[in-house]
Chains A and B, each alone.
Chain A
Amino acid sequence: MIGPLRKRNSRLALGLAAASLAAVAVACGTDYYEIPIETPIQPKLDVSPFQRVLVLGFVAGGTDDVDANQETVRLLRSQLRTKSSLKVIDADIVQLIEVARDQSQGGSDEAGPREGGAPPRATNGSDRSAPGVALPSNIKDEKDLEPYERLFANTAYWKRIGEEYQNPLIVTGTVLFTGRSTSGFVQRDQETFDSLGRRRVIPTRMYMERKGFILRPKFIFIDGRSGATMYSESYREEILYNAQQNTPALSSYFELMDRLVPNFLSALSSQKIRGTRVLLK
């Protein structure tokens, strides 16, 4: 008699416990909702003192297939026109390589940039940057670019450019766009069909020769009122294609710049980063 009663009680206890657990599970349900969000990111620079921006020119090197100075200036100006509140100054693109060479040879510039991108003429030595230092005539890699960095520290030169254009924010820097060839094993998804016509994708390792480009820009933001560097940032992007694929250098350049432009713009204006998160109940 005692046996069945105990059994019934323990069943009742188990039932109650299960019911309690179910109630807890319902109460702590795992309902979730995906929701798109836009996170506002503040600009890296306070550009409120400036109404205008001057993308003057870049010390550029690498492949001869693309004029990286001209293309970079044109691209950044067009992006700034549509995606920033600053007015873009439509000035001639300056060949900063020639400016740097002129300065290193003991010349200087009182005149600032001239039409056609010719280097400013020397008039006195107040803003020489390390005169006498030989600059590589052909920039092929980062080592060749290094000696040109002095140009950006030449505050007298940049201040004078600023005065000429009524103290804008000046955008300049270096751009290295070089070709690259590589070979080795890469993993590719290979599509196959079995005897029943069913599609299968199998990851396959294969030896490939590839070629492409590397883009290494450094954007420097200079205060046109003082000639001092406010901020700079460097990037590196790379793209590789099958060696048989013939992709024009210019289209690769734009593809790589497309990846960098949002970062460049986020220095000057607030950006919104879109994403998705999971809300829980």
Chain B
Amino acid sequence: MKGPAIVLLAFTALLAAASPSFADAKRDARAQVEFGINVAQRGLWREAIYRWEKATQIDPTYVAAYNDLAIGYEHEGQLDKARKAYEKALQLDPNNSQIRQNYELFKEINDRTAQKEK
């Protein structure tokens, strides 16, 4: 009986000690991403990019923030930045089909532009 109880207590203590700042950061990053989505839907892409950039600074492992940031850059014609953001998102979550689909569509445009520059 003692075994599981100790593990449980240790787990709870660890969560209690570590989670406040970690959870706050996650919550902040998520709020930034949500705000970004909201303003992007209203056509305010620069503000959206600012929010998504902020989200990636707060939580550098936040996959959705990189995906959204890549879309924002794409919409602004900053194709190099968009590619890097997509690659980061896929590096963090290689099996995400939605990011992969976004990236494939982006590559079509990017390849066309690259051909022009040859």
Q: Tell whether A138 is near chain B: CB-to-CB under 8 Å.
A: no
Cross-chain pairs A/B with CB under 8 angstroms, 25 sampled: A5-B1, A9-B1, A9-B5, A12-B8, A16-B8, A27-B26, A33-B37, A35-B71, A39-B75, A39-B79, A40-B77, A42-B113, A44-B116, A273-B109, A275-B105, A277-B71, A277-B102, A277-B105, A278-B101, A278-B102, A279-B67, A280-B33, A281-B34, A281-B37, A281-B64
Q: Which are the 6 A-B pairs with shortest beta-carbon distances? A: A280-B64, A40-B77, A44-B116, A37-B75, A277-B71, A278-B98
Given contacts A39-B75, A279-B68, 13 further A-B contacts (CB under 8 A): A5-B1, A9-B4, A13-B8, A27-B30, A33-B37, A37-B71, A37-B75, A40-B77, A41-B112, A277-B74, A279-B71, A281-B34, A281-B37
| Residues in chain B near residue A278, CB distance under 8 A | 67, 98, 101-102
| Residues in chain B near residue A13, CB distance under 8 A | 4, 7-8
| Residues in chain A near residue B98, CB distance under 8 A | 32, 278, 280
Chain B nearest CB: distance from A195 CB in Å? Answer: 40
Q: Are A35 and B40 in contact (CB under 8 A)?
A: yes
| Residues in chain B near residue A16, CB distance under 8 A | 8
Q: Are A280 and B77 in contact (CB under 8 A)?
A: no
Q: Tell whether B85 is near chain A: CB-to-CB under 8 Å.
A: no
Q: Are A37 and B74 in contact (CB under 8 A)?
A: yes
Interface of B is mostly: helix
Central interface residue in B26, B67, B75, B112, by most chain A CB within 10 Å: B75
Q: Are B109 and A41 in contact (CB under 8 A)?
A: yes
CA gap between A277 and B7 in the complex, in Å: 45
Cross-chain contact of A33 among B1, B7, B41, B77 (Cβ < 8 A):
B41
